[in-house]
Amino acid sequence: MPLQNRSLEADIVRRSFALRVDSMSDEGPGGGSGTACAMGTLDSYRSVWSPRAFGKDVLKTSVSDGFMTPNHDWEEDCGTIEALNVSRNELKIDWLFYTDDDSQKIRTKCKDRKDRGKSIGLSIGAAVNWQKCADFDSGEKLWTYAEGLGEDMSLYDPAIRKHKGYCWIIPEVTRLFEVAITNAPAVPGSRADEIRSTNDLLRSGDLGALTFADALDMVLGAVQGIEARALEVEALRAENDGRIGRDNLKRLQALRDSLDSIIGRNSQTRSDDEAAIRLMASRLLAG
């Protein structure tokens, strides 16, 4: 459920893909090409992006209004998105760097890394249609749901069906704001063509390549998804007490306590995003 005081950043879903830059160019201001999003694959958030998630209008708007950034820094955009197209289950991108000194420094670093055989990551920042997202308790059920949507299942990784436990599908992206260039190394164990996300860093405890803003974005997105799911549970249990289970309530209380502690220590610089997290957690507990 949308909140009046939630910032735009709170609605942005981000995914990072390691080693997805295919080429770098030296012509003119320089540019690059690669895969901005891998779809039909279970990622580290246990989510699957539908190969039909990026509609033509979304891609057209992103080419005209979207931008390239270094590590999701919107105030230091470094280039323009020149082309976006879906090739089976991959979102392909071509971009050009700006001609200013800062953007050219980023281009030079990317070119050097590519020439030395090092990783160059791409990370998308997109808004999704949360009303169409659906979650499941097994990959087999997600697979069946996707079939029911009329998806081309040849574009889906069959390994999804073997997944045990929670997973969810993203059928529609409403806007692709940015594609970020990141030099963060791939998560250990990831293949060059495999999706990765900053959530892996949270699980491993290695936060060296993760900014506070990125971590906060992930928490905000997760809480928003939890709120939507809680409303569904309440509706299903309306004939009883209409509340979530006791164990899950304890988990939410632990989340609220942790957030209250952070906010309390930084009360003089409390941000709208932190307030939004606290409000969403409080609303869940109030139910």
Task: Tell me, yes or no, whether 199 and 243 share the same domain.
Answer: no
Task: Tell me, yes or no, whether 87 and 199 share the same domain.
Answer: yes
Task: Tell me, yes or no, whether 98 and 174 share the same domain.
Answer: yes
How does pLDDT run across 246-269, given as a tens digit for each residue? 777 787 888 888 888 888 877 755
User: What does the alpha-carbon distance between residue 245 and residue 255 come to, in Å, rounded to a whole number?
Assistant: 15
Task: Tell me, yes or no, whether 256 and 151 share the same domain.
Answer: no
Q: Is residue 273 part of a domain?
A: yes
Task: Tell me, yes or no, whether 163 and 259 share the same domain.
Answer: no
pLDDT confidence of 242, banded at 50, 70, 90? low
Count CB atoms within 10 A of the CB of residue 139.
Answer: 22
Task: Give me 248's structure tokens.
Answer: 């899950």
Structural domain for 276, as ranges: 221-286
**Residue 205 pLDDT > 60, yes or no?**
no
**Residue 161 pLDDT > 90, yes or no?**
yes
Task: Tell me, yes or no, whether 153 and 230 share the same domain.
Answer: no
**Residue 199 pLDDT > 70, yes or no?**
no
Give the chain's end-to-end CA distance (angstroms, integer): 14
Q: Is residue 247 part of a domain?
A: yes
Task: Tell me, yes or no, whether 148 and 280 share the same domain.
Answer: no
Could you list the beta-strand ranges (E) of 156-212. 164-170, 173-182, 195-196
Q: Reduced to 3 DSSP states, what percent helix, strand and coil does the chain have, rounded to the nearest 5?
A: 40, 25, 30
Positive or negative: CA dihedral 183, 189, 195, 196 = negative
Mean pLDDT of all residues belonging to the chain: 75
Q: Is residue 213 part of a domain?
A: no
Cα distances from 153 to residues 17, 41, 146, 149, 229, in angstroms, run 22, 11, 8, 10, 26
Q: What is the pLDDT of residue 189?
A: 26
Could you list the beta-strand ranges (E) of the chain. 12-17, 21-25, 31-38, 47-49, 67-70, 79-87, 90-97, 121-128, 134-138, 164-170, 173-182, 195-196
**Residue 185 pLDDT > 60, yes or no?**
no
Q: Give the number of domains in the chain.
A: 2
User: What does the alpha-carbon distance between residue 155 and residue 98 come to, in Å, rounded to a whole number?
Assistant: 35
How does pLDDT run across 54-86, given as a tens digit for each residue? 999 999 999 999 999 988 888 889 999 999 999
